[in-house]
Structure 1
Amino acid sequence: MTDHKMNTNRASIPHTVWPAESLPRLEREAADALGITLYELMQRAGLAAFTLARETYPASRRWLILCGTGNNGGDGYVVARLAQAAGIEVSLMALESEKPLPEEAQAARDAWLDAGGTIHAPDAAWPEGIEVIIDGLLGTGLRSAAREGIAALIEHANRHPAPVVALDIPSGLLAQTGATPGAVINAALTITFIALKPGLLTGKARDVVGALHHHALGLEGWLAGQEAPYNRFDDAQLADWLKPRRPTSNKGDHGKLLIIGGDHGTAGAIRMTGEAALRAGAGLVRILTRSDNIVPILAARPELMVQELTPQVLDDNLEWADVVVVGPGLGQQKWGKQALHKVENFRKPMLWDADALNLLAINPDKRHNRLLTPHPGEAARLLNTSVAEIESDRLLSAQRLVKQYGGTVVLKGAGTVIASHEGSLGIVDAGNAGMASGGMGDVLSGIIGALLAQQLPLYEAASAGCVAHGVAADKIAARQGTRGMLATDLFSTLVRVVNPDVIDPDHD
């Protein structure tokens, strides 16, 4: 499974995302509003899953269905009955519980038995020749690691060569956070029902979800009238953020961006930030850095303006700039600290990254004109906690950062989370493992800084910048794969991405 595979079905995935805890209420209210029963919704879910599995694996003739003790298991019983009716040889294993099944799941179980189906114990021997496994063990209500018996089934399924189709969510993946506290199904594909859950997009999701599909079960119209608290961002929204330029516009119309950083030995970081800003459309980009970085940066990219960072030069340029980006290669010594101290009082939009974040963790403050772009390690320092704690709930971590530091926060990683002090929260559905290399964060800072300079508000600039960054990397991965991707590889592709009104002749 690859990230590129994850993105192959995104056109039909909604841009609205709902908290896991709201899903039962959402389902009940939709059913009531439309005059249908929850059992009818279960029938629709089972049919959608069966249809997808049959279309994806048309030659398969032997399926194994794994059913849990909740409504996820009920979906599995429906799939089993439909598959058997279609002439597929079905084996079904079900977990047992002292508690009765939910009403809808019990009805689905009875229908399976009435159709001549058989239920095997979870410790029974697996039949030979299984070609597809349907995962209906655990649903979106899971809050902790799967218990031992279920974990054994999950691990058996992962060892088996047959592809796994997960119903609603891979068993063991937490629907709200994308965390995997214990054993988790490694699905080839996942079909999620009604609403999109955040845990399918962030955390460990990309490792286990496979190709993501969505089916609203006929509730599309009703859902369209509801206001979801989260958003999914992808390339489909770039044209909304990045409008064509007026033919008579000039460089001054597209912003004056000041970038500060590049201590000894880090000229590359600040140069990448500067070029990324130019490639993302900033009108004028000026870099303040160490004197020995000036010639190399100008030689690499003469369109940049570069000066030595001194107190007076900094004061003058803070007056000149529309937007400031500070942190790439800044270091944590006196030189960087003094510069950051002056930048703190800048009243226009600013972005803090890298060592600016590490220094902020030492002397925290709260500002609403500031955008922070931490990776999980920097986020852990900012919140005085561990990386594991940050990654256990990325949405909550981003919200905590905003509460403490203000402004807008970009919590980077697979499924980047963006949160604002106004309460907006989105998950970026773009990017791939090739971006796990040095300099990618410097490039992102330049892109977002450029969009701020072009007068996008903090949250929109962060959202558009992260999507453009990820989409550029996805286009490169589609051409050459993920291993060996460099941050500077993004530049030529980025130009096309930030001009969504232009038809791409390569169609990549």
Structure 2
Amino acid sequence: MEFLPFALYKVHQVRQLDQYAIEQLKIPSITLMERAGVVALKQLRKHWPYARRIVVVCGSGNNGGDGYILARLAHEMGLYIILCQIGDGSKLNADALQAKQSFINRGIPILPFHPQYLKCSDVIVDAIFGTGINREITGMWAKAIHGINSFDHPVLSIDIPSGLCGDTGNILGVAVKANLTVSLIGLKQGMFTYLGSNHCGKVSFDSLQLPDCAYKSITPEVYRLNLQKELSVLPFRIPSGHKGSYGHVLIIGGEEGMSGAVRMAGEAAYRVGAGLVSIATRKSHAILLNLTRPELMCHGVENIEQLTPLLNKATVIIIGPGLGQSAWSQMMFHQILNVSSRPLVVDADALNLLAKNPVKHDHWVITPHPAEAGRLLNNSTLEIQQDRFTAARTLQQRYGGVSILKGNGTLVCGENQPLGLSTAGNPGMATGGMGDVLSGVIGGLLAQGLTLIEAARLGVLLHGTAGDQVAQIHGERGLMASDLMPYLQHLVNLKVVNESHYQFSD
């Protein structure tokens, strides 16, 4: 994967960057448009070097102007170009009109869009809307996009697939499904969450030669998380360290029939470096839990009196994996809320119990998936997904601490901090137990002294990256949560390898 910036922007912020370049840096807007066409063609040639027949579909805005320039340059290179105009070409602004005229001067006809022109293409270039639309797409534009999506030809979208909302990753009725998106000036936050990655394909980026001073004029609200950066918060292990130095994680859960959840959370906490892990679960299966992982200290807990001594020993508490919503589950959950001031990770059914009796705490990490987030915010799952950024912030504001909104483009939100977005992870991780592993990872990091936000950011990255490494070797289909364990251990030790302060002689 080629390098991409970590800053993510809203659409209006990218427009502000564009205006800064034009007004403050005195870069003519037609120059930026020319650069966009050059960059997009370069990426087309890089990814499809043998393509000879290019169909460019241009809209009536600046995105269409980019398409006209690409088409002109491609024709100058000797490629066969079919250019289709959709919408009223007379409405082009001055720069796009200039780009169109320079194309006309090459003597190539401009054709009204028809799906038949797409049949013989090697590559289709989508230059219809870009970010210049914020309404549902209908009529001839919707038919054109459906037409592009109906052919099994490679598609390059300039800046963003037409119909994809750059702010949310939502679809404006219909959107182009690109194989490659050449994003310009600033990466749009909606490209990396919800349906964004479904439609963007591979993402390439070019700043169009804007200098650093332009980017310093805008403060992004969202950043892609960086594993190497987040790994730097892990403390070194010193020779005199012992198991007590690395924290004691207590995991509460495992209602009858759901004992595997706490088992996986417990091993995950160990694999990322926790010194001790205890499990408080139902007495009926407590003795069985550590048969395959004897390092886990498993306790049958049926009442508050049996739970209290375990709470007193714990550095960090995880509640929720396999917890259920029975009377026992509610008793465990309410006891934690009433007596514990330790860092908490609240997951799974503990979130459903929280939704029924909302409270706010500053010392926990909550980890809902979209359906659980919907219950916490009294919204539907669809409403959560359609604006995940707002949902993540609202969760944090309403419940305190740090909120993690899981899903494609998992979001991490701390108080008064930019949102962190993880691009790690893959569809193979959509299997039972993955959330339990994540809660264990976060708990294990908290036990080693990381702050809530540090543990949440690093935990999400470790979890997703481990899943990606499993999928790279074995494939996505059939991936199980327990497959992540050795990869988690490998990843948390990358920092030790890269930054070791020890010197060895031959």
- Asked if TM exceeds 0.5, the reply is yes
Q: Does 1:166 align with 2:157?
A: yes
| Whole-angstrom CA distance in 1 between matches of 2:142 and 2:307 | 58
- Alpha-carbon contact 2:402-2:413 (below 8 Å) kept: yes
- Deviation per CA, 1:207-243, whole angstroms, max 9, x where unpaired? 1211111111112523553532211014343432335
Cα distance, 1:407–1:487 mapped onto 2, change above 3 Å: same
Q: In terms of mean alpha carbon deviation, does 95-104 or 379-388 score higher?
A: 95-104
The answer for the alignment partner of 1:273 in structure 2 is 265
Q: In terms of mean alpha carbon deviation, does 36-45 or 96-105 score higher?
A: 96-105
The answer for the alignment partner of 2:213 in structure 1 is 222
| Whole-angstrom CA distance in 1 between matches of 2:349 and 2:69 | 54
Matching residue's letter, 1:392: Q
The answer for the alignment partner of 1:72 in structure 2 is 63
Report deviation, 1:114. 2.2
Matching residue's letter, 2:351: L
- Deviation per CA, 1:387-437, whole angstroms, max 9, x where unpaired? 111111111111111121111111100111111222431111100001000
| Whole-angstrom CA distance in 1 between matches of 2:137 and 2:78 | 33
Q: Secondary structure at the match of 2:317?
A: strand
The answer for the alignment partner of 1:382 in structure 2 is 376
- Alpha-carbon contact 1:278-1:450 (below 8 Å) kept: yes
Structure 2 runs not aligned, ≥5 long:
499-506
- Deviation per CA, 1:87-135, whole angstroms, max 9, x where unpaired? 0011111122387323322221122122323211124741652101001
Q: Secondary structure at the match of 2:484?
A: helix
Cα distance, 1:99–1:112 mapped onto 2, change above 3 Å: closer
Report deviation, 1:32. 3.4
| Whole-angstrom CA distance in 2 between matches of 1:475 and 1:138 | 36
The 5-angstrom pairing of residues 224-373 of structure 1 reads 225=216, 226-309=218-301, 310-345=303-338, 346-373=340-367
The TM-score, its normalising length taken from structure 1, stands at 0.94
Structure 1 runs (4+) greater than 4 angstroms displaced: none
Cα distance, 1:124–1:13 mapped onto 2, change above 3 Å: closer
Report deviation, 1:246. 2.7
Q: In terms of mean alpha carbon deviation, does 473-482 or 134-143 score higher?
A: 134-143
The 5-angstrom pairing of residues 109-508 of structure 1 reads 109-123=100-114, 125-126=116-117, 129-223=120-214, 225=216, 226-309=218-301, 310-345=303-338, 346-501=340-495
Matching residue's letter, 1:438: G
Report deviation, 1:349. 1.4
Structure 1 runs not aligned, ≥5 long:
1-7
The answer for the alignment partner of 1:16 in structure 2 is 7
| Whole-angstrom CA distance in 2 between matches of 1:98 and 1:170 | 20
| Whole-angstrom CA distance in 2 between matches of 1:326 and 1:127 | 55
Identity of aligned residues (%): 40
| Whole-angstrom CA distance in 1 between matches of 2:351 and 2:398 | 13
| Whole-angstrom CA distance in 1 between matches of 2:492 and 2:440 | 13
| Whole-angstrom CA distance in 1 between matches of 2:430 and 2:209 | 39
| Whole-angstrom CA distance in 1 between matches of 2:48 and 2:208 | 22
- Alpha-carbon contact 1:230-1:425 (below 8 Å) kept: yes
Report deviation, 1:38. 1.9
Q: Does 1:101 align with 2:92?
A: yes
| Whole-angstrom CA distance in 2 between matches of 1:493 and 1:220 | 39
Cα distance, 1:219–1:450 mapped onto 2, change above 3 Å: same
Matching residue's letter, 2:427: A
Report deviation, 1:292. 2.1
| Whole-angstrom CA distance in 1 between matches of 2:96 and 2:234 | 47
Cα distance, 1:314–1:142 mapped onto 2, change above 3 Å: farther
Equivalent residue pairs, number:
495
Cα distance, 1:223–1:447 mapped onto 2, change above 3 Å: farther
| Whole-angstrom CA distance in 2 between matches of 1:128 and 1:410 | 44
- Deviation per CA, 1:14-55, whole angstroms, max 9, x where unpaired? 111112222211211134343312221111111111001011
- Alpha-carbon contact 2:155-2:177 (below 8 Å) kept: yes
| Whole-angstrom CA distance in 1 between matches of 2:436 and 2:257 | 15
Q: Secondary structure at the match of 1:414?
A: coil
Cα distance, 1:127–1:379 mapped onto 2, change above 3 Å: closer
| Whole-angstrom CA distance in 2 between matches of 1:383 and 1:371 | 16
Q: In terms of mean alpha carbon deviation, does 96-105 or 424-433 score higher?
A: 96-105
Q: Secondary structure at the match of 1:318?
A: helix
Q: Secondary structure at the match of 1:75?
A: helix
Matching residue's letter, 1:86: M
Q: Secondary structure at the match of 1:344?
A: helix
| Whole-angstrom CA distance in 2 between matches of 1:212 and 1:452 | 34
Q: In terms of mean alpha carbon deviation, does 373-382 or 300-309 score higher?
A: 300-309
Report deviation, 1:70. 1.4
Q: Secondary structure at the match of 2:232?
A: helix
Q: In terms of mean alpha carbon deviation, does 469-478 or 413-422 score higher?
A: 413-422
The 5-angstrom pairing of residues 47-58 of structure 1 reads 47-58=38-49
Cα distance, 1:164–1:503 mapped onto 2, change above 3 Å: farther
Matching residue's letter, 1:282: A
Cα distance, 1:483–1:23 mapped onto 2, change above 3 Å: same
Q: In terms of mean alpha carbon deviation, does 108-117 or 370-379 score higher?
A: 108-117
| Whole-angstrom CA distance in 1 between matches of 2:48 and 2:430 | 33
| Whole-angstrom CA distance in 2 between matches of 1:300 and 1:20 | 51
